[in-house]
């Protein structure tokens, strides 16, 4: 057991089947999903994360998944011109642009990418961050991102467990029709939304947890990974948070990653992921003296490993690593 973890027992139910390194994984949801996505990508998994950008609430997550399933274009009526840029109420601000046509193209391309990947994916990890939902007052339409628009444009509501459960159930059923082999992993983000208020954040997380467990009870291909509980109940110390006392720090995300790989990866997958992580670390190693013999030996050693890995794992693209480590 990792020395950072307290003796408080926590039961983590492993899925059946376990994740294999050949599997394709799509991640959708809060910023915590991007932490996990980066680690999976560093371990050379075939990963796609957040084609809509970061999403926090379940209605926005479900709406984005519906767009991927139907390969639907971004709704034109949902564009908004704010602060000299074109934005969309369903998308993160990383899709905003000076020209509306450019923004629409970025969104359409990302939806198409999500559609194609989700159709072939083995796993979908959904990380929900908050049960608070913003609605445009005009039309009572839910929004995924407020884009720093004036607050008087929105109503803020705490979604009921029933509303969250209904949206999730409809989405899971649509996903099963679209891709019958897809397995779903739910997590609740351990990032606390303290701007909503401490009590309000706990009410929000509780509703998400209850709704998600209703889904794992209802659908045998849905599973729960307790990232939230690992941070809040097992680590339960501000040492594991960044300076804002809200976001988990590196030590915390490392513990969560270790527990995820220990319970959700097969034995062979864990070994492969460890090898690929070491390779990624070497690939991004910052070198001060590239002319030294030591650096030449370093590159030669990893080039030989890459060539060996290419034979062992023909489904992994090692093009970048081969180019980086190739002998001069």
In a domain, 262, yes or no: no
Give the chain's radius of gyration (CA, Å): 21
Identify whether 286 is part of a domain.
no
Residue 155 lies in a domain: yes
- Are 15 and 216 a contacting pair, CB within 8 Å? no
Q: For position 227, which CATH number holds? A: 3.40.50
What is the helix (H) or strand (E) element at residue 287, kind and residue range?
none
Q: Is the per-residue pLDDT at 6 higher than 80? A: no
The pLDDT tens digits of the residues spanning 99-136 come to 999 999 999 999 999 999 999 999 999 999 999 999 99
Looking up tokens 């509501």, which residue turns up?
Answer: 157
pTM, two decimal places: 0.94
Range of the domain at 184: 24-247
Whole-angstrom Cα distance, residue 193 to residue 132? 10
17 assigned to some structural domain: no
Helix (H, G, I), strand (E, B) or coil at 77: helix
Looking at the domain assignment, is residue 322 inside a domain? no
Domain annotation covers residue 256: no
> In the chain, how many domains are there?
1
206 domain-assigned: yes
Give the pLDDT confidence of 161-216 residue by residue, as tens digits.
999 999 999 999 999 999 999 999 999 999 999 999 999 999 999 999 999 999 99
Tell me which H or E stretch contains 224.
Answer: strand 222-224
**Does residue 216 sit within a domain?**
yes
């Amino acid at each position: 057991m990792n020395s950072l973890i307290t003796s408080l027992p926590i039961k983590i139910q492993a899925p059946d089947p376990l994740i294999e390194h050949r599997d394709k994984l799509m991640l959708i949801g809060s910023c915590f999903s991007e932490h996990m996505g980066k680690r999976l990508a560093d371990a050379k998994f075939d990963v796609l994360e957040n084609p809509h950008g970061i999403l926090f609430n379940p209605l926005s997550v479900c709406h984005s998944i519906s767009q991927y399933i139907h390969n639907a274009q971004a709704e034109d009526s949902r564009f908004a011109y704010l602060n000299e840029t074109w934005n969309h109420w369903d998308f993160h601000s990383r899709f905003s642009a000076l020209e509306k046509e450019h923004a629409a193209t970025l969104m359409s391309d990302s939806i198409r990418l999500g559609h194609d990947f989700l159709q072939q994916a083995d796993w979908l990890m959904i990380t929900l961050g908050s049960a608070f939902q913003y609605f445009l007052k005009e039309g009572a339409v839910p929004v995924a991102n407020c884009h720093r628009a004036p607050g008087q444009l929105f109503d803020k509501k705490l979604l009921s467990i029933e509303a969250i459960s209904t949206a999730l159930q409809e989405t899971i059923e649509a996903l099963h029709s679209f891709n019958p082999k897809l397995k779903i992993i739910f997590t609740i983000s351990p990032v606390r939304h303290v701007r909503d208020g401490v009590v309000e954040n706990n009410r929000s997380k509780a509703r998400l947890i209850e709704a998600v467990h209703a889904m794992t009870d209802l659908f045998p291909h849905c599973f729960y990974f307790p990232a939230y509980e690992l941070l809040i109940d097992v680590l339960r110390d501000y040492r594991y948070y960044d300076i804002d006392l809200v976001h988990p720090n590196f030590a915390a995300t490392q513990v969560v990653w270790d527990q995820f790989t220990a319970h959700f990866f097969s034995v062979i997958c864990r070994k492969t992921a460890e090898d690929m992580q070491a390779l990624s670390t070497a690939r991004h190693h910052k070198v001060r003296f590239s002319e030294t013999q030591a650096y030449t030996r370093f590159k030669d050693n990893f080039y030989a490993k890459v060539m060996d890995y290419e034979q062992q794992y023909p489904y992994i693209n090692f093009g970048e690593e081969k180019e980086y480590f190739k002998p001069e």
